[in-house]
Amino acid sequence: MFAFEKSIKTSAGGVSFALSNRFGGVSKKPFESLNLGFHVGDEKHLVEQNLQIALSAFYALQPSSKIAKSLAYLTQIHSTQGVCVSSAISGIVNLGEGDFLLTNRKDCALLVLVADCNPVLLYDKRNNALSLIHAGRAGVFGKICTHALESMYQRFGTHARDVYAFVGVGIRECCYEVGSEIASHVAQMARDSKYTQNARVFLTTREGKAYLNLQAMLESEFHELGVGESEFMQGCSCCDKSFFSYRREGTTGRFGLFGRLL
C-alpha cells in the first residue's frame, strides 16, 4: 500500500504524508492493482474503490475522529499552474486542471499522481501550510516548485527557510534516457544555474546516450530558493517494479503522494 510514510509534528501543527505503491487495490492488468488515476484507461469504479482504500489507509496512519476523510486532486496537465484548497470540500474531489495543490486547511488531504514523474511535498513548518506538486520533466524545467513556493508565500506568508521538502520515487538517471534536443536544453539550464558548476550533474552520458537526473535539478532549485531542509527518497520507479512506470510499461496505472496537515 505505502512505500514510504512520515509525519512531522511542529508547534504550529504538523504534516502527515505517504507514498503509495502498486499493491493493495482492486484494478486488473495492466493497472494491477492500486491504480489511482482515472485518465489511464482503467475502469472508473475500480479507481474509485482504490482511492477510497488508499485514503482510508492514509488517514489511519494518523487517526483523528474529528476530521472528515476528504481528498483533493487535479487533472494534471504538465503545467506550472496550481490550485489552492481554500474552502471545505466533501469526499474525493477533482479541483480541475493544474499540477500543484496547496492549502492551510486541516480537514482535507491532497494527492498528486505519478508514474515516473517526481511527487514533491513542501511543508511550511512556521505557518502550517502544505503544497503537493507533480514535477515531471516539463514541471522541473518550468521550475514548478518555485511557482508553488511563490503561491504559498502569497497565500500563507511562507518563506523558503521554514520549508521542509520531500521528493518521492521517480525515474532516475539509471533509466531516464533523453534525446539530444533535451540534453542540449538541460546543458543550457545547468550553465544558467547558480549552484551547479556544469551540466554533468544534471546529465550523464553512457555509451553515447544522455541520461537526465531530474532529482539533481530539483535539489539545485531547492538550493537556489533557500529551502530549509530537503529529503529525497531513494529508488527509481522504472527499476522498481513495485511502482507503476510509464517508461517501463507504457499503458499502466498511477501511484500517488498523499499529504495532509495535522
Binding site for Zn ion (CB under 5 A): 174-175, 236, 238-239
Complex with Zn ion: residue 1 or 239, whichever CB lies closer: 239
In the bound complex, what is the minimum distance in angstroms from residue 234's beta carbon to Zn ion? 11
Nearer to Zn ion (CB atom), residue 248 or residue 260 = 248
When the beta carbons of 35 and 215 are compared against Zn ion, the nearer one is 215
Q: At what angle do helices 144-156 and 214-225 cross, to 10 degrees?
A: 30
In the complex with Zn ion, the residue whose CB is nearer, 151 or 237, is 237
Which CB, 82 or 170, lies closer to Zn ion?
170
Q: How far is the CB of 172 from Zn ion (least distance, A)?
A: 5
Contacts of 183 (CB under 8 A, 6+ apart): 203, 210, 212
Nearest to 17 by CA among 250, 212, 231: 231
List CB contacts of 171: < 8 A, sequence separation 6 or more: 116, 117, 214, 236, 237, 238, 245, 247
- CB burial of residue 91 (10 Å; 0-12, 13-18, 19+): exposed
In whole angstroms, the minimum distance from the beta carbon of 144 to Zn ion comes to 22
Smallest gap from Cβ 175 to Zn ion, in A, equals 3
**Phi, psi (rounded to 5 degrees) for 171:** -75, 140
Q: Any idea how long the chain is?
A: 262
Q: Taking the complex as a whole, how short is the minimal distance between the CB of residue 186 and Zn ion, in angstroms?
A: 18
- Count Cα neighbours of 244 within 13 Å in the Cβ-side half-sphere: 31
CB of 244 to Zn ion, least distance (A): 14
Q: Residue 104 or residue 252: which is nearer to Zn ion going by CB? A: 252
Judge contact between 34 and 43, C-beta under 8 A. Answer: no
Residue nearest to Zn ion as judged by C-beta position = 236
